[in-house]
Amino acid sequence: MRVVCILHELMSALGKDEAQIAKEIGIDKRSVRKLLANHQDWRLPRHTLEKLMLFAFANHYPKGIFEIRPHPLWDTFDDAPITIFRGSRTWDTDAEAKLRRFLENLNHHPDTEVATDSEPGVDIAAIQGTMENHNCIFIGSPKTNPPSEIALALLWNAVPFDHSAENRQAIPIHILGMMPELHERSAILEPSTRNGFDLRLSSKQDRRFIRVSWETAEKYGDWTGQGEDAAVVVVAKDPFDTGRSVTTIVISGYTGRATFLASKELIYGEPPITKEDLMAPEPVIATFLFYFRKLPYRGGRTLAGLRREIPGTERWMPR
């Protein structure tokens, strides 16, 4: 999401060039040039901002000279209903609430399906049918949200919950160092002495390991210091090539906090996903990372509440 200046649209509508519009508004021509270059950093005094806003209002732009524009990814959600599949953990619930408010601001009204401990059975065919006809957002990793496993496997023509080597090889995303909580097997999660994401991007002959900081439950309470967490986001437009205008997004954090922050950055940030990426036949994979500080445990709070993300460290890994 970006705040952009729409001065170029106003200039075009009025048929005026930089010098003419600067004179008519009563501002310096250099200020006009800066505003037209939306990618540059610039500052405006209050009196200049007021002149711009009043001029826009007088020329039938009642909201003024600036506009909030969501990332182009969200434009693909305009032509079909939306279903959100999430885990039952608090962070996944919080991520859904933030995504729901954002989507409602765009005049969408998503439905929600929740994976719970009491409902281990998952209808794979039903989820595929929803992905074929709805925009879908899967919140949480396959560890706590089985529908995320289904979506990731189906996007690469693999079988969900089949941990055979041949089936696993078809999926380019593997999460090391964790096992599923609601199913016995996984095609994506795997036990390991390493913790992180093993990305096998075969189309680019690229293999990456995204390490995250992790301690066992026995050691976590006493451990303090700085660490790194991550999430992998997968986006697929028309995932099954049906010709329908639908998009699937899977937000899979190594931790619930990572899932939440990646969801937030999908809304308010600028994920490295272009319109051209969305038109490609293969799903798009983007990696989100951030640093956190682990506080010492002194009682009175949950272990999950001991992490504090370090502001300004959030970033998307270049693709």
What is the pLDDT at residue 42?
Answer: 80
What are 237's two structure tokens? 């437009």
Q: Specify the pLDDT at position 301.
A: 62
CATH of 2-69, one of 1.10.260, 1.10.8, 2.40.100, 1.20.1270: 1.10.260
**Rounded Cα distance, 181 and 179, in Å:** 7
8 A C-beta contact, residue 142 and residue 155: no
* pLDDT value, residue 118: 44
Q: What is the model's pLDDT at position 245?
A: 94
Domain assignments of the chain as residue spans, ordered by start? 2-69, 72-316
Cα 144 from Cα 119, distance rounded (Å): 12
Q: What are the pLDDT digits (tens) for 227-283?
A: 999 999 999 999 999 999 999 999 999 999 999 999 999 999 889 999 899 988 899
Which residues, in sequence order, are CB contacts of 49 under 8 Å at separation 6+?
A: none
What pTM value is reported for the model? 0.87
Mean pLDDT, the chain cut into blocks of 10 residues (319 residues total) = 87 93 92 82 88 93 88 93 93 95 95 72 88 97 93 96 93 93 86 93 73 85 89 96 95 96 94 91 94 81 76 87
pLDDT value for 69: 86
- So what's the pLDDT on residue 195? 96
Quick one: DSSP state of residue 318? Answer: P
Distance of alpha carbon 192 from alpha carbon 213, whole angstroms: 14
Strand pairing category for 225-237 and 284-294: antiparallel
2-14: b (≥16 Cβ within 10 Å) or e: eeebbbbebbeee
Whole-angstrom CA distances from 205 to 152, 199, 201, 235, 276 are 20, 11, 6, 20, 20
Neighbours of 140 (CB within 10 A): 30
What angle (nearest 5°) sits at the alpha carbon of residue 270, between those of residues 267 and 276? 110
Q: Are 175 and 141 in contact (CB under 8 A)?
A: yes
pLDDT of the residue at 295: 84
Q: Which residues lie closer than 8 Å to 265 by C-beta, 6 or more apart?
A: 271, 288, 314, 316
